Chains A and B, each alone.
Chain A
């Protein structure tokens, strides 16, 4: 198989398969979670939970007072990684075209050199996070196969994207194909690992936030 054939395969059938598994897996897993239901609140509430839940979804993007000082590394590296990854994913023009084609919506992108920076930020932050995971007593203790698998499938798109963009691997169709393949791998793995947090954090924050809001607490 030539690199051109490989590129055709990942842009065609492999992408379809990955998208199908991605959608299939997400719907399945979300329904599995939602099916368990929430207990009814009988206590006299101080405020409605619904809006409080949404406020918490937003509020949790900023660490609570004093938390930044205590968990500075993980917050900084975590933010840099997420920012780098999401900027590269959502604001690179070729990616936007993909969203436009598949979802029908588009938005303005950033110039490529900025994407280059965001990708590098993401890569370095992820390396730092991995080192931290391998050395920090708590993370070393908590981490298992799933954590390292999730790290790998998240890291690969960043690094293959950078390689493809910078032409560090020739021929280019091979580099591009590997990049697309790495995204497909991420899409396939996501619904069945902790990477689902990209969606379920909304449910988590909302339920926590609404319960707290009912008690008059903004968390």
Chain B
């Protein structure tokens, strides 16, 4: 297995952000983690990538226990996350940004910058190579997040809402990029609100609600699961109202 979560839990003060989450991701899959706002998706990503330590449970990456390791150690093993709100190195150019990722395995500055240029081309930022990253649009920043993560030569990438804030044309443009990432041998775990893209992209969908995993399966099956519909739309008001009337 590429990634295994075993009974993971995390509490912030009085809020149980993640409770008893267990799932696995196989090599070469594209798995989507979906759920309403506040379901705990980003917390789960932070736990997997080492930015938070779980209160209970274990995380295994490529059959190695990575629970509690710091983020840079986990990244060095080949598990890299992106951020929901893009976090560019603002004073550096696009090429220099991506080179920081490439330096994980390349000591030479020249080689890292060349790799940065190659990857910028791959994620569609070739034209902005020597521009400061703070000049990029939202879509450009998302592509930069992706490019930097790819430059570390990961085995598994966690993409946190790479499509949030993009317009439909930009979304259609980024879908093939994600397929290309998988086809290059990288396993993908992503969170996404854009359901159209989730349906097209993912082999498997995991649904999180209030920190619990409430469903998983093929995209089409999950979309018709009553528990999932309820999580997204709320409990139906009709049956209790009818009962009230009957009693009345």
A binds B: no
Q: Point out residues on A near B: beta carbons under 8 Å.
A: none
Chain B positions within 8 Å of A, measured between CB atoms, are none
